[in-house]
């Protein structure tokens, strides 16, 4: 009786171990493999930063193409060629993803675009020219920038604009307006200009053509235009308007 009981126990134990091994095999995908990773966890520590960067790049591309509100984490994962589980390993929510993008991608751009007037405190033409050139340079380095800026910063209700304002306020905007007003009082800039519209005018003359370039690249009259041409046109229009320059 005892032997029978032991035999039954051993049989039961063996079956339990087989079930356990089968379950572990399903989890790891191969017998003898390391302990199963959490769902979505990167397969190698060296690839982690690369995978994360790919997800950020995919998010920027989608945000520029269809807007932040209409983009889900699942769509970002598919755009990057990953599973939703991989996406959720790095970013639990879209808000978290947006905060990371602001810190790691937008703040460096913000720094590049800042300081044009401060660098040329006594020369408004040089300051405005530098600002226009920087917009064009950033747009050339980051193809997603023009469309995303128009969609999410310039447009009413843009989620990126709201988030940036919540975090950083409008100190840069105020500083730019103060420079314009100062130059007007000093007689260095046209007094008919509306200070609050100068920055927006620079954006309209640089970022808007670049954001819509895919629409006019096949136009014979404009398809040969380069980023430098756009910057030159913007500066000429902002500094001299449509009046021909005075004869030397």
Q: pLDDT tens digit string along 160-171? A: 999 999 998 988
CATH of the domain at 71: 1.10.10.60
| Same domain as 235, residue 112 | yes
The per-residue DSSP string of 35-77 comes to PPPPTT--S-TTTHHHHHHHHHHHHHHHHHHH-STT--HHHHH
| pLDDT above 70: residue 11 | no
Average pLDDT in the 25-39 region? 44
Please identify which residue in the block is written with the tokens 């300051």. 127
pTM of the model: 0.74
| Same domain as 55, residue 118 | no
Confidence (pLDDT) at 225:
84
Residue 159: inside a domain: yes
| pLDDT above 50: residue 7 | no
Residue 20: inside a domain: no
| Same domain as 229, residue 118 | yes
Average pLDDT in the 170-188 region? 94
Specify the range with the lowest mean pLDDT, choosing from 60-69, 126-135, 175-184, 207-216. Answer: 207-216
Average pLDDT in the 52-63 region? 97
Residue 178: inside a domain: yes
- pLDDT category of residue 5 using cuts at 50, 70 and 90: very low
Confidence (pLDDT) at 28:
40
Host domain of residue 59: 48-92
Residue-wise burial string across 138-147, b where 16 or more C-beta atoms lie within 10 A, e elsewhere: bbeebebbbb
| Same domain as 165, residue 67 | no
- pLDDT category of residue 210 using cuts at 50, 70 and 90: confident
| Same domain as 214, residue 146 | yes
| pLDDT above 60: residue 12 | no
Q: Is the dihedral of CA 200, 201, 202, 204 positive or negative?
A: positive
| Same domain as 196, residue 124 | yes
CATH of the domain at 189: 1.10.357.10
| Same domain as 124, residue 231 | yes
Burial class for 149, CB neighbours closer than 10 Å (0-12, 13-18, 19+): buried
Mean pLDDT: which of 9-23, 24-38, 79-93, 196-210 is highest?
A: 79-93
| Same domain as 121, residue 222 | yes
Q: State whether residue 212 is helix, strand or coil.
A: coil
- In 3D space, the residue among 88, 15, 2 whose CA is nearest the CA of residue 52 turns out to be 88
Tally the domains of the chain.
Answer: 2
Confidence (pLDDT) at 46:
46
| Same domain as 76, residue 138 | no
| pLDDT above 80: residue 72 | yes
| pLDDT above 90: residue 44 | no
- pLDDT category of residue 142 using cuts at 50, 70 and 90: very high
């Amino acid at each position: 009786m005892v032997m029978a009981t032991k035999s039954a126990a051993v049989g039961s134990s063996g079956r339990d171990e087989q079930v356990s091994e089968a379950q572990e095999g399903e989890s790891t995908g191969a017998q003898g493999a390391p302990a199963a990773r959490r769902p979505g966890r990167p397969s190698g520590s060296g690839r982690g930063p690369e995978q994360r960067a790919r997800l950020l790049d995919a998010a920027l591309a989608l945000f520029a193409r269809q807007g932040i509100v209409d983009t889900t984490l699942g769509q970002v994962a598919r755009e990057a060629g990953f599973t939703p589980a991989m996406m959720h390993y790095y970013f639990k929510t879209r808000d978290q993803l947006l905060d990371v993008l602001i810190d790691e991608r937008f703040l460096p751009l913000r720094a590049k675009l800042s300081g044009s007037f401060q660098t040329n405190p006594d020369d408004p033409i040089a300051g405005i020219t530098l600002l226009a050139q920087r917009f064009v340079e950033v747009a050339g380095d980051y193809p997603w920038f023009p469309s995303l800026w128009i969609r999410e910063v310039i447009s009413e209700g843009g989620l990126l604009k709201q988030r940036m304002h919540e975090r950083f306020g409008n100190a840069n905007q105020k500083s730019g307006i103060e420079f314009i007003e100062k130059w007007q009082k000093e007689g260095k800039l046209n007094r008919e200009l509306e200070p609050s519209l100068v920055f927006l005018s620079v954006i309209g003359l640089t970022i808007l053509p670049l954001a819509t370039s895919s629409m006019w690249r096949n136009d014979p009259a404009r398809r040969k235009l380069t980023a430098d041409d756009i910057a030159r046109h913007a500066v000429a229009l902002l500094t001299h308007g449509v009046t021909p320059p005075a004869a030397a």
